[in-house]
Amino acid sequence: MSKVGLYFGSFNPVHIGHMIIAGYMKEFTDLEEIWFVVSPLNPLKKKETLLADYHRLYMVELAIGDNYYFRASDIEFRLPSPSYTIDTAVRLTEKHPDNQFVLVMGEDNLYTLHKWKNVMELIRWFHLYVYPRPEAVKKPDMLLNEILERAVIKWVNAPLMDLSGTFIRNGIKHGKDMSYFLPPAVWKYIQDMHFYEK
């Protein structure tokens, strides 16, 4: 069986922080592949500034290029909206029984697990590979404590990246050169399409 990390996100846009995390997970853990699962709508986020699904998927494909170990997945485009991690992970497991899937997430997401759909089922079936996030704050919560005690968590000492899609979108909106924060092909596509300028 291949061990595959599922890296969920809106990727609005995909940036070098995402790619660094994915690269670190591939090279410094036992994960053989990283699949970028592009989410149409995160139930915990607002949709106001979200580009169309296919644009965000295409930018992930541009960022990946010819890297054999990375894959862009549009599976959530064909699932009921909003998408939930448990539904997507189970569907991928059914479609790819030869893969062992784990969830790749930032420490900030780890501390929201008590808000996730069917989280006890999720942590029973899928291990969590967690990378540090500088802004992550764990607030006291009995359910969250129980979840974290039961979950199989692998802490991955990936580089701290205080970089967000919001920062990049705001920079573009204000006419800043954001080319150093994005894979070159993604930056070119954003410029060609005039994304995030308003």
The sheet with strand 70-73 has its strands ordered as: 70-73, 33-38, 2-9, 99-106, 128-131, 153-155
SS (H, E, C) the chain: CEEEEEEEECCCCCCHHHHHHHHHHHHHCCCCEEEEEECCCCCCCCCCCCCCHHHHHHHHHHHHCCCCCEEEECHHHHCCCCCCHHHHHHHHHHHCCCEEEEEEEEHHHHCCHHHCCCHHHHHHHCCEEEECCCCCCCCCCHHHHHHHHHCCEEECCCCCCCCCHHHHHHHHHCCCCCHHHCCHHHHHHHHHHCCCCC
CB distance 171 to 164 below 8 Å: no
Written as tens digits, the pLDDT of the chain (198 aa) is 899 999 999 999 999 999 999 999 999 999 999 999 999 866 556 666 789 999 999 999 999 999 999 999 999 999 988 889 999 999 999 999 999 999 999 999 999 999 999 999 999 999 999 999 878 888 989 999 999 999 999 999 999 888 999 999 999 999 999 999 999 999 999 999 999 998
Specify the pLDDT at position 34. 98
Specify the pLDDT at position 1. 85
pTM of the model: 0.94
| 45 CB neighbour count, 10 Å cutoff | 13
CB distance 154 to 28 below 8 Å: no
Specify the pLDDT at position 2. 95
d(CA 117, CA 114): 8
Specify the pLDDT at position 46. 62
Specify the pLDDT at position 133. 87
